[in-house]
Amino acid sequence: MSRKIAIGKIALLLASLAEEELDYFRPTLKELSFCQGKVGSMNMQKVISAVETAAKRNGIIHESLYRETHALYHAILEAIKGVTRDQPAIGEMSRTVGLRFSVVRGAPYANEAEGEWISVAFYGTIGAPVKGLEHETIGLGINHI
Amino acid sequence: MSRKIAIGKIALLLASLAEEELDYFRPTLKELSFCQGKVGSMNMQKVISAVETAAKRNGIIHESLYRETHALYHAILEAIKGVTRDQPAIGEMSRTVGLRFSVVRGAPYANEAEGEWISVAFYGTIGAPVKGLEHETIGLGINHI
Amino acid sequence: MSRKIAIGKIALLLASLAEEELDYFRPTLKELSFCQGKVGSMNMQKVISAVETAAKRNGIIHESLYRETHALYHAILEAIKGVTRDQPAIGEMSRTVGLRFSVVRGAPYANEAEGEWISVAFYGTIGAPVKGLEHETIGLGINHI
Amino acid sequence: MSRKIAIGKIALLLASLAEEELDYFRPTLKELSFCQGKVGSMNMQKVISAVETAAKRNGIIHESLYRETHALYHAILEAIKGVTRDQPAIGEMSRTVGLRFSVVRGAPYANEAEGEWISVAFYGTIGAPVKGLEHETIGLGINHI
Amino acid sequence: MSRKIAIGKIALLLASLAEEELDYFRPTLKELSFCQGKVGSMNMQKVISAVETAAKRNGIIHESLYRETHALYHAILEAIKGVTRDQPAIGEMSRTVGLRFSVVRGAPYANEAEGEWISVAFYGTIGAPVKGLEHETIGLGINHI
Amino acid sequence: MSRKIAIGKIALLLASLAEEELDYFRPTLKELSFCQGKVGSMNMQKVISAVETAAKRNGIIHESLYRETHALYHAILEAIKGVTRDQPAIGEMSRTVGLRFSVVRGAPYANEAEGEWISVAFYGTIGAPVKGLEHETIGLGINHI
Ligand SMILES: [Mg+2]
Ligand SMILES: [Mg+2]
Ligand SMILES: [Mg+2]
Ligand SMILES: [Mg+2]
Ligand SMILES: [Mg+2]
Ligand SMILES: [Mg+2]
């Protein structure tokens, strides 16, 4: 079984690159369904909600199907673990995040029977709730859908 | 305090992009000290060791200074948390990783007094110890050095 | 040393079976001290508090003895880890739980000197704070008391 | 959306009840695809492998499809978190497990579009690598498949 | 490379010993920069904030340098892991802490090039939010600065 | 309920102070049952085993009672979390520890009904498996027994 499209890498580039930096990758984007967004918060619930809302509004997942919500939720959770690297409680740990995110849905494997997968990527900053006291952070989650 | 160079983003691109995809970013790379490598294993100790050895051989950190080894080790550890998203024991959890990695050292902040920082990025696959039963994974760690 | 009564299994059945399904196990229940309850919340503190209050009101633990409160608290904490499987912050992670629980106290080992032990079980659902977007979850904690 | 069959509860009963105790639940079992097994080890890789092998041999998952292997793996991982309640490294933490397990596949939701889900349950003992120095433990994982 | 001053041990003694018990260790304290404080809360953000504020007010770290704030933050985070031993959410887990803390900055290694390091220690109680239902707890974090 | 003897603090001093530094605290030690030891390893199982063996050989716990082994094991596990601050797998994470430890058993509370408690303390170094590339670490666990 070989991979056809790296939906994780694409999600990460969508979350971290500027518009002009993305030009090189536009052809691949055409084969995929994706959305992008931004969220800044000391509350992880707001981060999760921003991604879920964007994915539903842009038709990346079927809003009324729990199995799709479930697939997305666990992909978000995995991506958050990369962002926080310790425990997902951010406000409680006196941290704030400023993140760009993306959700990508597509068929990454050459074998059609492997079906669709979803990836969630975050790129931005994490740090003290004081402007500038922060450094970069990244997270990626992938799930079958 | 504003950021001058996104050493985390650069590290991630170095780990995930192909040679030709990196062309757009070459000017920024000139301001930084960095190295790249590859490692595949079911043993996290080998992954850590591959990054440490590459960073020392390429002069990214001073081999004989513990404070630099310490800064790098914790950056690696943070990046591994993004890669595994659960617990870093891979073989024990019946998983294998195939990763490209990079280590970037530079001054990310406009204020010179903020000095040098180090970032470690991983990009590759994680999955069952069977060829093809795997999906993408990413991790990033950042530390002051 | 052999086991006489499986207080963990009994706690789990008390939390997960319907009244009529429990009939088969009633004889064993007579040898034990136990209580049952229900709690639904996005706040783990309410879940913990519901179990502690039920255990005290039903005389399963001695309210004024810290060593018994301590034994119960750690059994609850262990059971919660099974329920959340990631980190116990539920509301922060945009999750809600609807749980039935039980606390069982008794002497599980044939050797009388092993004394009393306590077990806490949860059974119910965990999911998005939207009715129906949820799946089953279970947790069990055991401690000497 | 309402639930039709509690595949998590069924999995748990299959792992924890004796043959005669299961009689009451046999009618429900007919609507589901499931398997049972046993494993004892100080090595979590053996536990994971035992469940994966049983699920494949009994046709609960399609061996050649990674998306099914992926769904099962994450369900196993969640169930293990309930079993260990701390970190999944058992031998490293001087612990051994003796477990019965089950894998159940079926359609738990009334809405047909929710499709199939898989649940993995463990029931048994965890303790020091000395006979008898152990207590009960339980774990449950659930995933869409 | 050998150690000259055990800044971790000193931090711990500053957090846990009474004034008169510290007499024996006063000569060592003269070579170091340190501060002490107290905090009681069900909210980890208050604990973190108390340590950061004390360290800045007493000039242990340079308030305007993010690299020093970053070094201190990660040392606090490590110390908190010793205090909570499970996950840092205290209020959410129905726990309260009453802690004395200290921050010590100095050059622990004989080799001057190893420069300055910082250590954070906590000593006090953790328990139910009821007076007396608590036991001792300790935590130590160390970082290069 | 007030505390009579701080068994956690005593355990920590036993693990971290030199013989002559302990003189001040000898009167308190007479009221307690305790042992001390040393262990260095990249394998956490050896660390756990060293503490358990010392506690049994010195009669701090009753070897044949599982409830005492259980109380000690969980106290060790809590102390290890302070030592590693991330995950207890040390060799797998390319780390080695060199630790002194102590186990203290006694009645810490004024109320006699609170009975006996046990505390385990570690003090030493953690770092790369290279002499000198290490810093201090501390851990404390407490349990009712
Ligand atoms: Mg996966
Ligand atoms: Mg950081
Ligand atoms: Mg236990
Ligand atoms: Mg789930
Ligand atoms: Mg360190
Ligand atoms: Mg406790």
For residue B90, is pLDDT > 60? yes
Distance CA E108, CA F35 (A): 29
Tell me what the pLDDT averaged over chain C comes to: 94
Tell me, what's the pLDDT at C45? 95
Nearest CA in chain C to F71: C144
Distance between Cα A117 and ligand 1 center (Å): 11
Query: pLDDT band at C131, cuts 50/70/90?
Result: confident
Structural tokens at position E71: 């070094």
Ligand nearest to the CA of B141: 2
Of all residues in chain D, what percent carry a pLDDT higher than 90? 84
Neighboring chains of B (3 or more beta-carbon pairs < 8 A): A, D, E, F
For residue F1, is pLDDT > 60? no
E74 touches chain B (CB under 8 A): yes
Query: pLDDT band at C47, cuts 50/70/90?
Result: very high
Amino acid letter for position C139 = G
A66 touches chain D (CB under 8 A): yes
Query: pLDDT band at B4, cuts 50/70/90?
Result: confident
Q: Kindly report the pTM of this predicted structure.
A: 0.97
Nearest CA in chain A to E81: A86
Tell me, what's the pLDDT at D3? 73
Pairing of strands F117-127, D117-127: unpaired
- Check if the beta carbon of residue A107 is closer than 8 Å to that of residue A5: yes
Query: For the segment D39-52, what is each residue's pLDDT rounded down to a tens digit?
Result: 999 999 999 999 99
The minimum CA-CA distance between A100 and chain C, rounded to whole Å, is: 18
Query: pLDDT band at B13, cuts 50/70/90?
Result: very high
Q: What is the mean pLDDT of residues C17-42?
A: 93
Would the CB atoms of F114 and C71 count as touching at under 8 Å?
Answer: no
Q: What is the mean pLDDT of residues C71-92?
A: 92
Query: For the segment E54-113, what is each residue's pLDDT rounded down to a tens digit?
Result: 999 999 999 889 999 999 999 999 999 999 998 878 888 999 999 999 999 999 999 999
Distance CA E68, CA E56 (A): 10
DSSP code at position A114: G
Query: Which SS3 state, helix, strand or coil, does residue C124 take?
Result: strand
Query: For the segment F134-144, what is each residue's pLDDT rounded down to a tens digit?
Result: 999 999 999 99
- Name the nearest CA neighbour of C41 among C101, C99, C106: C99
Query: pLDDT band at C118, cuts 50/70/90?
Result: very high
Minimal Cβ distance to F142: which of E2, E135, E142: E135
Tell me what the pLDDT averaged over chain B comes to: 94
Tell me, what's the pLDDT at E37? 98
Q: What is the mean pLDDT of residues C120-133?
A: 93
Tell me what the pLDDT averaged over chain A comes to: 94
Amino acid letter for position B82 = G
Tell me, what's the pLDDT at F108? 95
Ligand nearest to the CA of F72: 3
CA distance to A47, E63, E68, E95, per residue, from A42 (Å): 9, 22, 22, 21
Give the residue, C136 or E130, on which the prediction is more confident. C136
**Which residue shows structure tokens 């003796």?**
D98
Distance CA F23, CA F119 (A): 21
For residue A1, is pLDDT > 60? no
For residue D1, is pLDDT > 60? no
Tell me, what's the pLDDT at C126? 96
First to last CA, chain A: 18
Pairing of strands A134-144, B33-41: unpaired
Q: Give F 95-114 residues with CB within 8 A of chain D.
A: none
For residue B1, is pLDDT > 70? no
For residue E1, is pLDDT > 80? no
Helix (H) / strand (E) element for F4: namely: none
Tell me, what's the pLDDT at B86? 81
Distance between Cα F129 and ligand 5 center (Å): 13
Helix (H) / strand (E) element for B52: namely: helix B44-57
Give the residue, D143 or D3, on which the prediction is more confident. D143
CATH number of C7-144: 3.40.1510.10
Query: pLDDT band at B89, cuts 50/70/90?
Result: confident
Give the residue, C71 or A63, on which the prediction is more confident. C71
Give the residue, A57 or D132, on which the prediction is more confident. A57
Residues of F in contact with E85 (CB under 8 A): 78, 81-82, 141
Tell me, what's the pLDDT at B130? 86
For residue B51, is pLDDT > 60? yes
F10 touches chain E (CB under 8 A): no
For residue E119, is pLDDT > 90? yes
Minimal Cβ distance to F65: which of C74, C114, C117: C114
Distance CA B52, CA A128 (A): 29
Q: Which of E16, E85, E99, E125 would you mutate first to test chain F, the one with the most F CBs within 10 A?
A: E85
D44 touches chain B (CB under 8 A): yes
Give the residue, C111 or B130, on which the prediction is more confident. C111
Tell me, what's the pLDDT at A33? 96
- Check if the beta carbon of residue C96 is closer than 8 Å to that of residue A95: no
Query: For the segment A42-59, what is each residue's pLDDT rounded down to a tens digit?
Result: 999 999 999 999 999 999
Tell me what the pLDDT averaged over chain F comes to: 94
For residue B122, is pLDDT > 90? yes
Q: Which of C95-99, D131-135, E9-13, F68-72 is least confident?
A: D131-135
Distance CA D67, CA A6 (A): 15
CA contacts within 13 A on the Cβ side of A93: 28
E132 touches chain C (CB under 8 A): yes
Size of chain D in residues: 145
Q: In what order do the strands lie in the sheet with C96-106?
A: C33-41, C96-106, C117-127, C134-144
CA distance to C19, C38, E81, E127, E137, per residue, from F8 (Å): 46, 36, 16, 14, 7
Would the CB atoms of F133 and B66 count as touching at under 8 Å?
Answer: yes
Tell me, what's the pLDDT at A86? 81
Neighboring chains of F (3 or more beta-carbon pairs < 8 A): B, C, D, E
Tell me, what's the pLDDT at C132? 84
Query: For the segment A69-127, what is each residue's pLDDT rounded down to a tens digit?
Result: 999 999 999 999 999 998 878 888 999 999 999 999 999 999 999 999 999 999 999 99
- Name the nearest CA neighbour of F15 among F109, F107, F119, F114: F119
Query: For the segment F76-130, what is each residue's pLDDT rounded down to a tens digit?
Result: 999 999 999 988 788 889 999 999 999 999 999 999 999 999 999 999 999 998 8
- Check if the beta carbon of residue D83 is closer than 8 Å to that of residue D95: no
Tell me, what's the pLDDT at D87? 80
Tell me, what's the pLDDT at E87? 80
The minimum CA-CA distance between B136 and chain F, rounded to whole Å, is: 22
Query: For the segment D59-72, what is each residue's pLDDT rounded down to a tens digit?
Result: 999 988 999 999 99
Query: pLDDT band at F3, cuts 50/70/90?
Result: confident
Nearest CA in chain E to F9: E16
